[in-house]
A and B are shown apart, each in its own frame.
Chain A
Amino acid sequence: MTFLRNNWWKIIGVLILLYVIAGGLLFEAPQLPVIRETVRNIYFHVGMWFSMMFILFMSLFFSLRYLRYFRPDDDLKAATAVKTGLVFGTLGLLTGMIWAQNTWGSYWVNDPKLNGAAVGMLTYLAYMVLRGSVDEHDKKARLAAVYNIFAFVLFFVFIMILPRLSQGSIHPGIEGNPALSAGDLDPRMRKVFFPAIAGWMIMAWWLFRVYYRILRLRKNIDELNEND
């Protein structure tokens, strides 16, 4: 009973994703020209990408909170959230590449949206490099928190604003909010798509929490050893 009380949202997340896997691959989907069955990738690719955005937003929140109160835990949470976001970003890129291969005939095309996504992720990889290059903990935390704000803004410029301004992207959903606009998504797909977004976000949050607890434990053990 305690297990259920503590883990109900994780169980719900897993059940939702099991439904998404089954519904996403077996339910009826619109047969669009060229895209055909690959349209089902939207449940995975977009879901993972939204989860990445959610977890990167949380990282921004923790960084801002760190700059307000200077609590080391907030810095650790921000860094963990970026790492988790990068995992989901990589999964999103991989699912996107598989889709591109089956639709456009190439894993990567010279498209402003795709290039923007790659550069956006590099911006966050630079965050990790920055953290690794400073030894002093307070200085590292402050620098990383400020850079994280910069990275979040840049990321959205790269994936949302620049591809639209360039007007040369062939990526679906470039005109509006991808898959959320009324004309973007077939009504038959909504019963799987919206749960998919929720399921992937729950999974991302769960992964973030576990990873954070591991890093916090490691840090606490190190501190205990240092004080001995």
Chain B
Amino acid sequence: MNKIVEARFIAPDIKLFRIEAPKIAEKRKPGQFVVVRVDEYGERIPLTIADSDPNEGTVTIIVQGVGKTTKQLNLLEAGDYVRDIVGPLGKPSEIENYGVAVSIGGGVGTAIAYPTAKALKEAGNYVIGIIGGRSKEYVILEDEMKKICDELYPTTDDGSYGFHGFVTHKLQQLLDEGRKIDFVLAIGPIPMMKAVAEVTRPYGIKTVVSLNPIMVDATGMCGGCRVTVDNKTYFACVDGPEFDAHKVDFDNLMKRNRMYIEHEKKALEEFICRIDLMAKKLEKQNA
């Protein structure tokens, strides 16, 4: 059981948590993640460690409510507990001084890119941040990113804030302007990462993405998280989650992530049903 010491929404459906986990806080490196289980019947879900405070013994995670487990997690408040948290898992990001590094985050991907972007800055890179969202309220961690980026470009699909367009359009614009870029880190929805890979491929820019396959144990025991990279099979939880974007088979990953789509729908419907029932009961009690 691990205690939540802080919980607050930072965007619609996106919640930041600080959770007590002293050993993980002490050990973790940028790019690593934890597995969280909310309760006894809970699924094991992987979440990136966005930040940590070794003195206080906490790790920060930022969770987007997309399905049953993440929505259930996002109902928790400071003072509540999660049943399990284990980590730090996965290989840390390979941090080097590449020169000019662009860190691209799409949606909640910004939270996953943030710790690595910070480490890239600390390693001496000139860091350009591109952080996208559907509209203004979905652009997250702008203040945090501003602190560590030499240049920061928020983008929105609907133009309600910052650059009007996708993160890839902004990246293409920088390249068209003839900007020298030595390294790109792109984290977000799979179509976005695939699109970034296509933008940088002709320029031969080293591009790294963080893959998000479905995981179970996340310690290399099940092979459920296997991804195809350079026509070889890797276990993303131990060999990744970061891989060379130009070699990833995104289509296979996209298909594999749809494996339980029917189950996910059902689980979410039942969960919402249950919450509604609970709300009605409470209303009755209070009436």
Q: Do A and B come from one complex?
A: no
Interface residues of A (CB under 8 A from B): none
B→A interface (CB under 8 Å)? none
